[in-house]
Chains A and B, each alone.
Chain A
Amino acid sequence: MLCERCHERPATVHVTKIINGEKTGYHLCEVCAKEQGEVMNPFLAGNAFDFNKLLSGLLSMDSSPGFAPVQAQVQPRCGTCGMTYNQFTQVGRFGCPDCYDSFAARLEPLLRRIQTGNRHTGKVPVKSGAKIKRLRQLDALRRELQQAVAQEQFERAAELRDQIRMLEQTSE
């Protein structure tokens, strides 16, 4: 993902602003974030990041409506529940379902270590599983298509191709 301000450098900072209870988030590169003054980075600023500061930030927000207090972190943080990756490594538990996407990059090597694969192949829920069911069906049809082509069963292959097209269209 590119920085939403300069559209040049990769976005490495996720900024979450809460103004009068309304939450907005955007992605910036480190340069733009610094220029915007959005970074409260303990390493850059040389200050120890502590809970008091976080708390005082929250307090100042409450006391001065209209003023936009900013919170940003270079450390990956889940945009939904606010858990940082460091916190996760300490407690070994994620804070919410969205953490899986928030920390996807770091999760992959972890899953390789503790699981046999990184893709679920088991049961799928009826309601929220419609998409994955279609994907699995597509996978199966594509494999069958390859086989049909290899065995020169072209009529069957044409049928399969049409089925795949139809499924692809419904999923769009």
Chain B
Amino acid sequence: MSLSDFLQRAVSKWMREGGPEDDIVLTSRIRVARNLQGYPFPILQTDSHADEIVRLMEQAIQSPVMQQLGNYEMVRCRELSPLDRQVFVEKHLISPDLAQQEKHGAMVIREDELVSIMVNEEDHLRIQCILPGLQLLDGWRMASAIDDALEQHLTYAFHDQYGYLTACPTNVGTGIRASVMMHLPGLALTGSINRMLTAVSQVGLAVRGIYGEGSESYGNLYQVSNQITLGETEEEIVANLQSVVYQLIEHERNARKALLARNRTQLEDRVSRSFGILAYARRIDTKETMERLSDVRLGIDLGIIQGVSAGILKELMVMTQPAFLQKYYHRELAATERDIRRAALIRERLRLDDSEVHR
């Protein structure tokens, strides 16, 4: 299969398409936790409880109301190989925790992969909508519509005072976790990222790097999400997050402007070198890939690099992950072999854009 065919089939809509503010906000994600009345939470569930919840979900997604909201397919974790499950993790459709739930876990994926429902993860259901760019409110409306459609067939565990009941009290109430994935190279290069992220965490939001351990983040990608789920409405939670995200966007844009004004040559050198490495390297690890991709994306956003699509960061950050690479090459690859294949895939992907420019 050629790379462009593979991309057509393997790349989710959120990776391919753009959206509002997508020079800085890569994706918006809404995740809603729901549990069924009369069943223990997954931590205490027996095999038969788990089967019953999977069966109830199977019926619920076949209902006419759900069919109106798209084509859904359900797969149990045990029907997939560990590698296939890992590919779903790398596409951000399921959590690493669900991939581990070989026995009880299941997932419902909508055809366009903007919607996925995790079954028997920490909660019975976790409805997830992932949209390109900054579209938190649209994401919430999408998730809420699916929630309503499912509720026609399921009875949720709901408490008059505490709202939607969840396995962990950090999710109780609305059960909503809204998050955005932001690319913040300007703030990183001007050295103001840590100050900014500390400020964000002080207003009740959580920030973490998407790739890399602890506070370190490869590729200047950060996830910002709400921490509070009880005592505010879903719309308030989404609006709070959105207003902070707009402030971060403004700071990031100012940082980029300042970099261009003061250190133009240095910046051009940096992004062009990174582009050169991606275009010619013969082996490259994940960490360096993310860092170079971040530079190249910044170069594209600032007009320094031309003829390369802006979607390359989102696309390649998923495509170059270990499981995805092995899926593309149809076999298991050792770490050093992956580095070689990763470099080849990136070179090939950059040539795709190049041929379109010269066509």
Chain A residues within 8 Å of B, Cβ to Cβ: 80-81, 83, 91-97, 100-101, 107, 110-111, 114-129, 131-132, 135
Given contacts A94-B41, A128-B156, A129-B158, contact A116 B148 (CB under 8 A): no
Q: Which listed residue, A93, A97, A129, touches B43 by the CB 8 Å rule?
A: A93
Chain B residues within 8 Å of chain A by Cβ, number: 42
Residues of A within 8 A of B37 (CB): 97, 128
CB distance from A90 to the nearest CB of B (A): 11
Please measure, in the bound complex, the distance between the C-alpha atom of A115 and the C-alpha atom of B173, giving whole angstroms: 10
A123 x B144 contact (CB < 8 A): yes
Q: Which of B39-79 contact A (CB under 8 A)?
A: 39-41, 43-44
| B residues less than 8 Å from A135 (CB atoms) | 160
Is there a chain A Cβ closer than 8 Å to B122's Cβ?
A: yes
Is B162's CB within 8 Å of the partner chain A? yes
Given contacts A94-B169, A97-B165, contact A116 B231 (CB under 8 A): yes
- B247 at interface, CB cutoff 8 A: no
B residues at A contact (CB < 8 Å): 35, 37, 39-41, 43-44, 122, 144, 147-148, 151-152, 155-165, 167-170, 172-174, 176, 204, 227-234, 237
A123-B43 in contact (CB<8A): no
- Per the bound structure, the CA–CA distance linking A110 and B170 in Å amounts to 10
CB neighbours of A123 from chain B (8 A)? 144, 147, 164, 174, 233-234
The CA of A162 and the CA of B122, in the complex, are separated in Å by 46
Question: Which residue of A94, A114, A116 contacts B167 across the interface (Cβ within 8 Å)?
Answer: A94
Q: Give 20 new A-B contacts, CB below 8 A, not counting A100-B165, A119-B231, A122-B174.
A: A91-B43, A94-B41, A95-B40, A97-B35, A97-B41, A97-B157, A97-B159, A107-B169, A111-B169, A114-B228, A115-B173, A116-B204, A116-B230, A120-B174, A123-B174, A124-B158, A125-B151, A125-B156, A125-B158, A125-B164
- Say whether B44 contacts A92, CB under 8 Å: no
**A117-B231, A129-B158 are contacts. A93–B122 as well, Cβ < 8 Å?**
yes
Pick the residue among B35, B41, B162, B237 that contacts A120 (CB under 8 A).
B162
Q: Are B159 and A100 in contact (CB under 8 A)?
A: yes
The chain A residue sitting closest to B232, CB to CB, is A116
Tell me whether chain A's interface is mostly helix, strand or loop, or mixed: loop
CB atoms of B168 and A120 under 8 A apart: no
The distance from the CB of B156 to the nearest CB of chain A, in whole angstroms, is 5
Can you list 23 A-B pairs, Cβ within 8 angstroms, ordered by A?
A83-B44, A92-B168, A93-B41, A93-B167, A94-B165, A95-B44, A97-B35, A97-B157, A97-B159, A111-B162, A111-B230, A114-B227, A115-B169, A116-B204, A116-B230, A117-B232, A118-B161, A120-B159, A120-B162, A121-B233, A122-B163, A124-B163, A126-B152
